[in-house]
Amino acid sequence: MKKITDERLVLQNLKNIRIAFTIQTLGILGILGYDLVTKGLEGMRENPLWLVFIITTIISAYLSMSISTDHEMNKVNPQKRFSISLIVLILISTIVGFFVSFTDGFNITDGVTIGGILFICGLIPTFYIYNLRKKRQNQDMEE
């Protein structure tokens, strides 16, 4: 099969894929919604489609981060923003961890574990966006 080089057709192809993706997502949401009603939250999460849906959402969120950084109107200092995000993240994980350790049925190890997981989960996107901003800042300097 010959590779499509016509830019108009490439663009049209992307638009078609977008339509297919929308329909697919609606289908997945429909199936998951049906599972939620008939089998409850646990039943819905047992469905492998749930994993597909979550992974797609995460990937789409990461991809849109690069668009958001380019869309930012005012120039931001990546280091400063990174420090602010880090402080907020540490605060949130500490507070959540603190409350978990004092909840009935949980001990201090659970609190530290949950706080730690929350911190790592938040650190990855924070670091990713820091890198994107830094890359953009370097590009701006080259200009």
| Binding residues for other proteins (CB under 8 A) | 5-9
Q: How many CA within 13 A on the CB side of residue 118?
A: 19
Least Å distance, CB 2 to other proteins, is: 11
Least Å distance, CB 11 to other proteins, is: 9
Helices 78-101, 108-142: crossing angle, 10 deg rounding = 170
Handedness of CA 44, 45, 46, 47 (dihedral sign): positive
Other CB atoms within 10 Å distance of the CB of residue 78: 19
Least Å distance, CB 5 to other proteins, is: 5
Cβ distance to other proteins smaller for residue 2 or 80: 2
